[in-house]
Amino acid sequence: MKLSLIKPDNIGALASSLCLVHCLATPFIFITQSCTASCCETSPLWWQWIDYGFLVISFFAVYRSTQTTSKNFMKWLLWISWTIFFISIINDRLDLFFAPEIFMNCAAINLVILHLYNLNYCQCKNDQCCSHNE
């Protein structure tokens, strides 16, 4: 595998995209399955745990991306987006407050866009650029 494919922004964009597909596919998967009294209420536990996997992967992708970005504002945007993503997923599981699922989807889309932008426009060309603030 090429080294360029292992960049944290690539991983972050891929994880956020897969999370978005996972979130969008869930209703369709459970609508199409035949329902019984015991299966219609909730999704399988392994399906629910995928969200937490995306959270962990996206955390490390954002952490690593913020270390290699050349733009200080990208650090803030990535962490704010990840925090919204985190709160949305936790709220979706625990029902702490009412929030439409579109917030979770928008947070995932935002992370994809930020990672792709960071990958294309904010990468350090040498070791010194990441150590100073703009």
Residue 52 lies in a domain: yes
* Lowest-confidence pick of 8-17, 20-29, 39-48: 39-48
Work out the number of other CB atoms within 10 angstroms of the CB of residue 12.
Answer: 29
Q: What is the mean pLDDT of residues 14-26?
A: 74
Please report, as a single letter, which amino acid is at residue 53: G
User: Quick check: is 3 in a domain?
Assistant: no
SS3 of residue 57 by DSSP: helix
- pTM here is 0.68
On whether residue 113 sits in a domain, the answer given is: yes
Give me the pLDDT at residue 8, please: 73
Is 91 a member of any domain? yes
Residue 107: pLDDT band (50, 70, 90) is confident
Pairwise CA distance, residues 37 & 71, whole Å: 53
30 domain-assigned:
no
**Residue 75, domain member (yes or no):** yes
Q: What is the count of structural domains for the chain?
A: 1
Could you give the CA distance from residue 88 to residue 105 in angstroms, rounded to a whole number? 9
User: Is 132 a domain residue?
Assistant: no
Q: Is residue 5 scored above 80 in pLDDT? A: no
Instruction: Identify whether 115 is part of a domain.
Output: yes
Full domain range(s) for residue 64: 48-125
